[in-house]
Amino acid sequence: MKLIVGLGNPGRKFEKTRHNLGYAVLAELARRIGAGPPRAKFQGELADGELAGQKVLLLSPTTYMNRSGSSVREARNFYGLADDDVLVICDDLNLPVGKIRLRASGSSGGHKGLADIAENLQSEQFHRLRIGIGAPPEGWDAADFVLARFTAEELPEIERAVVRAADAAADWVRHGIAYCMNRYN
């Protein structure tokens, strides 16, 4: 069994913002694997399906980005999963728009959602898939930038990145993190 977590903020106000790329990838993956409708569980929305003969849990925490850790911890503990059976998908302002990067473990890199998950799991050994949103333009506050929508020029690249990230998440289930780092990084 694998747990794939897409980070974002709940509510219409945050739909299609840079910070909600994790939600977008999870929606694409849910569509592909024919996951049932999400249900409220673990302080989030949980859907499940099957991929490559494995049960796949898709969790969208509704705790807001910076407090995602308790949701992930509850799901991981309930299902008795190891940290390396968890893949967290999130935005990254340190990567160019549309670039994806997978890592087996590591620091939060300043991402408050990842930091909260690491704190709640008491581990940095969970896998992560980051999608670049680019750096804030000069004069922009990073918090305002991540809550902004993509420009018309960025949208085609982001749409391709969401599809590619869903491909990577599916390959993570099928082949593991080492394969994905070699193929997608």
Active site residues: 19
Nearest to 166 by CA among 2, 1, 52, 6: 6
| C-alpha to C-alpha distance for 133 and 93, rounded to whole angstroms | 5
pLDDT digits (tens, 9 = 90+) for 29-87: 999 999 989 999 999 999 999 999 999 999 999 999 999 999 999 999 999 999 999 99
| C-alpha to C-alpha distance for 1 and 159, rounded to whole angstroms | 28
> Would you say residue 6 has pLDDT above 90?
yes
- Rounded to an integer, the average pLDDT of 133-159 is 94
CATH number of 2-184: 3.40.50.1470
Tokens 């991981």 sit at which residue? 76
Measured in Å, how far apart are the chain's first and last C-alpha atoms? 24
Domain locations in the chain as residue ranges: 2-184
| C-alpha to C-alpha distance for 20 and 163, rounded to whole angstroms | 15
pLDDT band for position 19 (cuts 50, 70, 90): very high
> Looking at the chain, how many residues does it have?
185
> Would you say residue 1 has pLDDT above 90?
yes
pLDDT recorded at residue 81:
98
**Residue 4 near residue 32 (C-beta atoms within 8 A):** no
pLDDT recorded at residue 4:
98
Bin 78: left if φ > 0, else alpha if -120 < ψ < 50, else beta. alpha
